[in-house]
């Protein structure tokens, strides 16, 4: 498979799916009518740190009422809906996986946020948005799937107005992975061209940004990812029982190793903030 095909395959089989979200909601509520945005938060925030991570990223990016924000690799649109409902932003997501785009539209419609949130099918290295049309660009643990991160950051720079900010979280490498671990991260989670902190500084500056902060989240991510591993192991059983996607076997094997590499500080996390000048 191509790099893009593998990322699409990964998310098309990911255990957090719109089918599982809807199955859970039907089991707890009995019906989907009258669904409120807050009722999705326990199900649609597929990133490390949950709502607190959304708030931290919004503060970095300067997202507030009326902000025009783009969410790169928006997935099912959980953060986009959160920013629209809680902060009053207008959010356009860009997502490569068709099933995620359709799922985001369905969930957004169910909670009545379609006037402020839309997720477009597209590639973050060629974004279907006009120059200078956004106040902020955000992304959460998604650029790890993008082979040409420099091009994605150049696209963020292009669509931002002067003074606009990009803020994102992503995996980083503190030391090079073995060939075996690199292959496992690719096979299981479509992770590729992982950067160091210095590497991300270089890519941001090359794109034209002024770097504001590069925060090492590795220690913070350790306990979060241990909890997520337990969640995915339970979710796999739940998904199999409900007949929804359970995640392919390599995903579950790679996630165990991913957590080990985070705890060993070979892999880690970053929150980056930069401004278009």
The answer, yes or no, to whether residue 26 has pLDDT greater than 80, is yes
Neighbours of 152 (CB within 10 A): 27
Determine the pLDDT at residue 105: 98
Determine the pLDDT at residue 247: 63
What band does 265 get if pLDDT is binned at 50, 70 and 90?
Answer: very high
What band does 94 get if pLDDT is binned at 50, 70 and 90?
Answer: very high
The answer, yes or no, to whether residue 19 has pLDDT greater than 70, is yes
Task: Give start and end residues of each alpha helix (H) in 31-178.
Answer: 37-40, 50-61, 78-87, 98-110, 149-159
Determine the pLDDT at residue 13: 84
The answer, yes or no, to whether residue 70 has pLDDT greater than 80, is yes
Determine the pLDDT at residue 246: 62
The answer, yes or no, to whether residue 231 has pLDDT greater than 90, is no
The answer, yes or no, to whether residue 144 has pLDDT greater than 80, is yes
The answer, yes or no, to whether residue 11 has pLDDT greater than 70, is yes
Among the ranges given (5-9, 22-26, 236-240), the one the predictor scored with the smallest mean pLDDT: 236-240
Q: In the beta sheet, which residues pair with residue 2?
A: none
- DSSP-based three-state secondary structure for 125: coil
Determine the pLDDT at residue 245: 67
pLDDT, the chain, mean? 94
The answer, yes or no, to whether residue 74 has pLDDT greater than 70, is yes
The span from the CA of 253 to the CA of 222, in Å, is 18
Domain boundaries, the chain: 3-276
Determine the pLDDT at residue 202: 98
Classify domain 3-276 by CATH number. 3.40.50.150
The answer, yes or no, to whether residue 240 has pLDDT greater than 80, is no
Which has the closest alpha carbon to 152: 168, 164, 163?
A: 168
Determine the pLDDT at residue 239: 72
pLDDT in tens, 169-188: 999 999 999 999 999 999 99
The span from the CA of 66 to the CA of 22, in Å, is 30
- pLDDT average, residue stretch 134-143: 98
Structure tokens at 40: 């999705």
Which has the closest alpha carbon to 158: 183, 137, 132, 182?
A: 132
Determine the pLDDT at residue 250: 87
Handedness of CA 69, 277, 166, 63 (dihedral sign): negative
């Amino acid at each position: 498979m191509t790099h893009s095909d593998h990322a699409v395959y990964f998310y098309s089989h990911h255990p957090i799916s719109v089918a599982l979200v809807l199955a859970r909601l039907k089991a707890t509520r009995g019906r989907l009518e009258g669904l409120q945005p807050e009722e999705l938060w326990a199900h649609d925030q597929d990133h490390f740190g949950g709502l607190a991570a959304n708030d931290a990223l919004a503060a970095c990016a300067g997202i507030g009422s009326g902000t025009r924000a783009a969410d790169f690799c928006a997935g099912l649109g959980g953060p986009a809906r959160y920013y629209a409902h809680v902060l009053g932003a207008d959010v356009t997501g860009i997502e490569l996986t068709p099933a995620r785009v359709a799922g985001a539209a369905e969930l957004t419609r169910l909670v009545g946020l379609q006037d402020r949130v839309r997720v477009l099918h597209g590639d973050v290295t060629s974004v279907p948005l006009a120059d200078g049309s956004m106040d902020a660009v955000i992304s959460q643990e998604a650029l790890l799937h993008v082979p040409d991160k420099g091009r994605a950051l150049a696209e963020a720079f292009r669509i931002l107005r002067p003074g606009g900010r990009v803020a994102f979280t992503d995996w980083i490498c503190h030391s090079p992975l073995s060939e075996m671990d690199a292959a496992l991260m690719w096979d299981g989670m479509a992770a590729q061209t992982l950067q160091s902190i210095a590497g991300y500084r270089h890519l941001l500056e090359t794109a034209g940004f002024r770097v504001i902060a590069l925060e090492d989240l590795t220690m913070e991510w350790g306990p979060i990812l241990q909890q997520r591993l337990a969640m995915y192991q339970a979710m796999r059983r739940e998904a199999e029982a409900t007949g929804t996607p359970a995640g392919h076997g390599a995903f579950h094997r790679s996630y165990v190793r991913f957590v080990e590499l985070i705890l060993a500080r070979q892999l880690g996390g970053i929150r980056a903030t930069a401004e278009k000048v």
